[in-house]
Amino acid sequence: MKKTTIAKSLAALLPGLFLVAGASAQASDNIQVKELATKLANPWGMTFLPDGDLLLTERKGSIRRFSFENGLSEPVANTPAVEAVNQGGMLDILADPDYASNQTIYFCYSRKGEGGNSSSVAKATLKDNALEGVTTLFVAEPLVDNGFHFGCRLAFDADKNLYITLGDRYKYMDEAQNTDNHLGKIVRIRPDGAVPEDNPFVDGQAPEVFTYGHRNVQGLTVHPKTGDVWAMEHGPQGGDEVNKLSKGANYGWPVITYGIDYDDSIISEKTEQKGMEQPVIYWDPSIAPSGMAFYDKSAFADWQGDLLVGALKFTHLRRIEMEGDKPGEQHEYLKDRGERIRDVEVGPDGLIYVLTDAPKGKLLQLSPAK
């Protein structure tokens, strides 16, 4: 019996624990799409500033500012050198919770080091379209000599802890179970790079680790009502996951998985094991998810509490109806555009903003159809 069939059989026996979501009905696109910026070089991440402007990253190494008055800026000056190879480059970006008073931003990027490269997080002050005081806060260890599975999503919780997602770097999947390094982990640090005293592995060699057993986490968001931190990761063939994070929890990769390898070989016969978390949602086949946000505004009145995720492989924005932590029906939007969705954010205006991943990528604004 194929691994995917086993997974679906287990799902039927364990209702309510997770959702097999191999197919979703195509939603009627009752939305308006406005192209705010085009010809972006593989845009990857975005963050809103208090004045309503957006900061965007381009994977080749640039940060750009988008203003609704003035459009797209020239690249921000003084950005550090990035290792823009394969999946690496300038990746996610995040404004400080107190940006209005300190003009501080955080960004995650792949950078070259001795013997390899690594995901790195830096902070800087943004002034007059230039970075000042660029300071490295975190470098994932060990360095690896390839260009895959960097992770690199960022989020702040209500206590101003900074969460950083990290991939297993592809060839090192077993290290996702080793809490003495950063491969296949989500880490938690303070805004100055210090380790929170209540992190679960403060006595180990990687005290920044918050959760482990991840593959390549490219979605991260904080629930606007509960404050819970949610993450979303790429599986292999099948087994993309959405998880609600718990301190010190093991999310199983590669000991348990709902996917198989790219050559159709079995990675693990197990889809569950004691002491390892089950996903809230998994997708089979994979949708290659990237970017996620809970909707909590009024513009799309019927979408309150729903989860929005981007799909790279199947070129759509997906909305998952949520009742608390329980997923329901799923809907696909923008599929007819044929564009890979890399990131999604809910704006302060209640509209939805999407980045498309292409050499001439776009910033899209979605609003309800009139």
For residues 367 and 370, what is the distance between their CA atoms, to the nearest angstrom? Answer: 9
101's enclosing H/E stretch is helix 99-102
Rounded Cα distance between 286 and 23, Å, is 10
Residues 352, 346: contact at Cβ < 8 Å?
yes
Residue of 149, 214, 234, 316 marked catalytic? 149
Beta bridge partners of 133: none
Cα-based distances in Å from 26 to 20, 314, 326, 335: 17, 12, 21, 8
Contact 284, 238 (CB under 8 A): yes
Query: Is 149 a residue of the active site?
Result: yes
Spell 101-113 as b/e; 16+ CB within 10 A means b: eebbbbbbbbbbe
* Interatomic CA distance for residues 209 and 180, integer angstroms: 8
User: Are 198 and 223 within 8 A, CB to CB?
Assistant: no
Residue 139: C-alpha distances to residues 71, 226, 283 (Å): 33, 30, 31
Which residues contact residue 329 at a Cβ distance below 8 angstroms, ignoring those fewer than 6 apart? 24, 25, 320, 321
Q: At a CB cut-off of 8 Å and minimum separation 6, what does 274 contact? A: none
Under DSSP, the state recorded for 162 is E
Exposure string over 138-166, b if 16+ CB within 10 A, otherwise e:
bebbebbebbebbbbbbbbeeeebbbbbb
Could you tell me the sign of the dihedral formed by the alpha carbons of 68, 73, 79, 83, in that order? positive
53 and 46 Cβ atoms separated by less than 8 Å: no
Two tokens, residue 320: 């998952």
* 114-117: long-range pairs with CB below 8 Å, 24+: 114/143, 115/143, 115/145, 116/142, 116/143, 116/144, 116/145, 116/146, 117/83, 117/85, 117/88, 117/143, 117/144, 117/145, 117/147
Could you give the residue numbers annotated as active site?
149
